[in-house]
Amino acid sequence: MVSQEDLKKSIYVFFTTLIVLFLAGLIVLILSQPPHKTDEIYLNALNAYENKDYSKSYFLFSKIIITSPLKPLAIYHQGVCADKVGDKVSAIKQYKFFLLIYPKHTLALKVKYNLAQNLIDTRPAKARKYFESIIKHYPSTDYAIASEYYAGLIDLKKYEKEQIFPVSVKNDIESHFRHYLKKAPSGRLAINVIENWNKIDKSIAKDDYLLMAKSYYLFGDYKKASEFAKKAELKNSWAFEVLNSSALGDKSRAKYLTEWGLNGNADYVDKEDVYAAIDNYMGNVPSKYQAAVKLLSLTKSRGKDYLMDIKCRYSPNDEKLACYKNLYLWFPTSEFVDDAQSQIFLHMVRVNDIGNAQRIGIDFLNKHKTSPYAPLVMYYMGRVSEKARSYRDYISYYRSVISKYPDNYYAYRAYLRLNHTYNPIITSYLGEKPVVFPYEKKHDFLEKLATLGDFEVLEEYASYDDFIKSWVYYKKGDYKKSMVLARDAMDKLETKPDKTDLRWRLVYPLLFWDDVRKYANGVGNNPPLILSIVREESYFDSNAASSVGAKGLMQLMPATASEVASKFGVKNYNLSNPSNNIMMGNYYYSFIKSLLGGLDVSAIAAYNGGIGSVNQWKQSLNYSDTDSFIEQIPYPETQNYVKKVLRSYWNYVRIYSGN
């Protein structure tokens, strides 16, 4: 008879042997698929997927070993491959397996969403639970927005079969659909939402019809948008109908509705919509100043301060001060009062009224610490302190602008003043630095995904950080989207990072630098400055085309390019070709600069506003230096353009040359 002790030993030996065999097998498995081999299989699987060979892709993904960090991604991709060929059973199996093994994984949300979609037809109640779970636990995600639609659709299908809609159920369905349209009016499912909503209810609320109209507008179906907008109350829809009528080419109706809406109906719509209607009106008039005066005479409430701000902006220079004083006095709680006060301050600086300038400037900086005009006021407080010969104060103000607003146009101007440099060109040298993962702490796994080209999964990993998203788009070659994401993310940071921070390279990448440097040097232009013009003109989108016909990276009009080609002896060029466009843009910039005394600030202004306008301003404006000239440019668009180009120039210099 076997003793208890012998039995324990036998069991111990048995399990030890199993563990040893398992570990040995695992080692053999790993040795048979080293990391470089796993990467090769994964890459081949992705290539098969790109070539729409989903069966081969599914098989290759299945070969990724269980111990690889790529395994959860491979299981996810298997589910997607099964979806592509319509094999719901296999797709559901893979998604369920994923959630069982990796419930906390970054891809778990997307997997749960995909699983719910696959269950809609066979197990709708289960699918609905998944969708409701996503809405509850991940409310701010795109998956939650889409889940609103599918949750409503499941209820709709259920009660369509029974041909009865209890009021509570109908209300739930409408609530889901309404949430979708509010959160994603241009979402890919928006039109489906509208069509299904109209199936179940013939007495939809008027406000909901306006939601539907906005979706059709965003999809470019302006006639359908008009049809739905007419079912809403005009007092609520007029601002929207202004935009839609304009899109339909009916400018007279857009003009009429703007005037009608502002004359007593502005409080029924959001202020942003009122501003949009006003902006549309201003885009179709010969004189923004006269248009603002006219609309001010009609407007009774909301939008009056905005119109006053527009009037002041476009007033003749000798009327601006009085206008801004009225704006400041009449609308003391307006969101535009900081603009008014900054302009009153700037006037005092211009007329050398040092005492009032200092008083107003200090008051501004105390009241409007987060205002976008704070860098302007802080910089000119430095100029005022210079005039007052207060060395300590002006040094302090200039340094404060640079430290608090390092990427701002006025930080650039402060740098020049601190270094007694009155030529706007600091350097022509930029040290080339590549766009890399935006944080010093490396993320090898994400960089591996980028190398493998698995951008679909990479975007899921990047969803929590706009800088990483920006980097993903950069790796995909979508430079414009990358820059916009990084720019907006940087603007949201209250404290800006050091100039060596890798995130800055996403905001200001060195794109097309070889061509820019080559052609700029060839005609005596400053390469970083030309790069800045390219950035502001097109955000490095070589296919950019403006509404008036300007083309390419440097947004050249074909007629202008033709004149430049004739002058410089260029016989063959294509503005859609990045290199050709940069070449012609450099020739054009060099030409207008030569006509304007070789001054870059004048040439930048002329690139946007025209040579004739710049010559006229130089004769009519009472300015003493570059700052004074730029601040008095009477076209706000051109003034802002000059500041944006010089801001970009400053940032390229400080990020890539060490200033």
- List, by residue number, the catalytic residues: 537
- The CA distance from 131 to 595, in Å, is 65
Buried b (16+ CB within 10 A) or exposed e, 120-156: beeebeebbebbbebbeeeeebbbbbbbbbbbbbbbb
Cβ proximity of 365 and 374 under 8 Å? yes
**Among the listed residues 492, 453, 494, the one whose alpha carbon sits nearest the alpha carbon of residue 475:** 453
- The CA distance from 379 to 212, in Å, is 48
Q: Tokens 């790109």 sit at which residue?
A: 50
Number of continuous H segments (helices) and E segments (strands) in the chain? 36, 0
Q: Angle at Cα 180 formed by Cα 175 and Cα 181, nearest 5°? A: 100
The answer for 512, left when phi > 0, alpha when psi is -120 to 50, beta otherwise, is left
Tokens of 561: 């390019």
Cβ proximity of 133 and 115 under 8 Å? no
Q: Tokens 């690889």 sit at which residue?
A: 68
**Among the listed residues 163, 282, 378, the one whose alpha carbon sits nearest the alpha carbon of residue 274:** 282
Q: How many CB atoms lie within 10 A of CB 25?
A: 10
- The CA distance from 251 to 241, in Å, is 11
Tokens of 6: 């012998």
